[in-house]
Structures are given as structure tokens and as C-alpha cells.
Amino acid sequence: MKIEAQQSLKDYNTFGLDVTAEQMIRVRLDSDDYRNRDISELKKILKANKQRLFILGGGSNMLLTQDVKGLVLKNEIKGIEIIRSFKHCVHVAVGGGENWHKLVLWAIKNKLGGIENLSLIPGTVGASPIQNIGAYGVELKDVFVRLEAMDLKTGKVKTYYHQDCDFGYRDSIFKRKLKGKVLITRVVLRLSNAPHKINTSYGAIQKVLAEKGIQDPDIKAVSDAVIEIRSSKLPDPDKLGNAGSFFKNPEVSATKYKQLLKAFPNIVAYHLDNGKYKIPAGWLIEQCGWKGKRIGNTGSHAQQALVIVNYGKATGEEIKAHADRVIKSVVERFGIRLTAEVNIY
């Protein structure tokens, strides 16, 4: 592992923002290194380091508004292996630097279920617990067993079980109290053997399956449907810089929802188990006229208003200014303050 100085991060963040990392190191380990607990080299580097540390996975959930001072740790810890087999499921240990969608494809190829609804989400496995990635009615926490993370100050590796992670909607302890303090090196997931529990609760999946005449979908059919929907709707970061949904979907109280329904009878909302209502942020933004609107080098995507895009030459500051404009207009129209899902630096 060697330190690279003045490394451009343009190719390492999906907004395609051309900022520079003062120093960067690729943390390269495989499952054998892990089995042997051979992470001493990384520990040594961390011990000697006096600079600020910045963890980078696939860069698909961050907005970089400035150059990164200090040392960037780029997670390239690899390995996917079944570590325990049970009658109905297996435990799979995955290196934090593995690509998430590669893991989904591996699971489907090995007839293992549970993450097919999370197909085509960019980024690394190590980042997946951070915002408890979710899509189409499934969240990482549904299959999560435990993870290992290295304390960036002491170099000590600690295991975090489900109850330690405080998972919430696009949220966990790693996005709050432990943000920037630990490096998630390995994640263990519980994947099912057939017969799988298939989740087609989201209308878009049902529609695609119906169009294909599939009545009894298996995990591959669900994954294919999700890939088809996402490819038709979401901008490909390789062609148009973006970080997926820029904002979280807000949750409002039943009282606030009733007020909104009175004022906006066509409002879209989902009743949640906690009694609150989830309003799709994309709908709120669209109602404010932002869908497909471009201002300079940035704007809200034409097919999904929740996604802010870089038309090529935007700076992080420009994108942030656009996000602020969107927040302001949603507050003015609906009295709801959107919060960023993307990590802003």
C-alpha cells in the first residue's frame, strides 16, 4: 500500500467533481489477509498518520465541494465467501471494498436470496450499512448479521452486531456518532436458500413482471425487473454525474399530512408503521417545478426530480446551491424542510 500525492478524485466520485485529495492510499486486502488477521500494515499506516482521514468507497453518495485535505483511505478490501451454512440460509462475509452490485449478481448466480431488490445500487459493500441502503421495499438491515470496523485512531477492529448499528431509514450509527471514526472492513449478510421470500410490493416491479407475463417470479426475475426499471429511469453516472436521490423522503405527522391533503388533494403519501406519513421528496420537488429544470451546469433530472445532476462542468458549490434552491422552494410551498441524503463535504 503506497501513498499517492495530489490525486484527482474526478473518477472516484459519481458526481464527477474534479477535486484533489492531498494524499490517497488504496487499502488493498483480500479474504486470505483477513482470515490471517493480516491487517497490520494498515494499522501501521494509521498509527504513523497524523493527518485528517477521509474514507472513500465508490464515491456514489457524496458531494465534494472542496479539495480533500489529509489522507483519503480508498477501500479496496476484497473477498466474497460463505462462512456458515444453515438449512434455510447462509452467512456470507464480504470485503468492504467489493462492489455492491457485483455481490448481488454473485448471490443470484449462487441462488441466494434477500438482496435482489437492491440490484444496481452503486458503491461498495462497506458503505452499504452506513445509510442502510434501501430500494423497492428492502433494506440492508433485513439481511445484515454483523460487520467489522477498524477504529481509525487506535487501529483496533471491533465487531458490530445488528443491535449496535441503530439502523433507520437511510441511516445508522455510522452516519451519525461514528461518522469518519471507523473504517468498515467486512460485512456479514444472511442470504436465503430457496424457497425465497419474494418482495414485489412496489408497483413498478409488479408492472414490469406483468408486462413480461411472469406470475411467479424468482429472485432473478425480480433482479432483472429492478435493473430494467432503474436503467430506464435513473441517469447513469458514467454519462451524467449524480449521486442518486439527493434528499431523503420526509416523514410527517398525521396532523401535518391531513393539512397537506386538504391543500393538495393529489398529494402522494405512504402510511408508515410509526403512524407518520412518508411523502416522496421527488413529488414535492416536481410540484415546485424543478423536474427537468437546468440552471447553468446543474439541475434536477428530467425523469426523477429527486436526482440532482452535473451536466459536466459543475462544481460542488454549484450543485449545493441548486440543492439549497430546491430546499427553499419546498419549504415555501409545503412547509417541509428536505434534508440531504448525500454526504456533503
Instruction: Give the interface with ligand NAP as residue ranges (CB under 6 A).
Output: 134-136, 201-204, 233-234, 244-245, 249, 270, 280, 282, 304, 341
Residue 122 binds to ligand FAD (criterion: CB under 6 A): yes
Residue 241 binds to ligand FAD (criterion: CB under 6 A): no
Active site residue 231: no
Residue 127 binds to ligand FAD (criterion: CB under 6 A): yes
Whose Cβ is closer to ligand NAP: residue 40's or residue 206's?
206
Print the binding letters for residues 59-88 with ligand FAD: x by CB under 6 A, - otherwise: xxxx------------x-------------
Q: Which of 76, 116, 251, 341 is catalytic?
A: 341
Q: Which of 243, 260, 285, 306 binds ligand FAD (CB under 6 A)?
A: 243
Whose Cβ is closer to ligand NAP: residue 270's or residue 311's?
270
Print the binding letters for residues 155-184 with ligand FAD: x by CB under 6 A, - otherwise: ---------------x-----------xxx
Contact 115, 191 (CB under 8 A): yes
Q: Which of 21, 25, 93, 133 binds ligand FAD (CB under 6 A)?
A: 133
Nearest CA among 112, 115, 182, 111 for reference residue 144 = 115
Active site residue 170: yes
Place of cell 477501500: 75
Q: Which of 16, 57, 113, 114 binds ligand FAD (CB under 6 A)?
A: 57
Q: Which of 131, 192, 298, 304 binds ligand FAD (CB under 6 A)?
A: 131
Whole-number Å distance between alpha carbons of 63 and 61: 7
Q: Which residues are catalytic?
A: 170, 245, 341
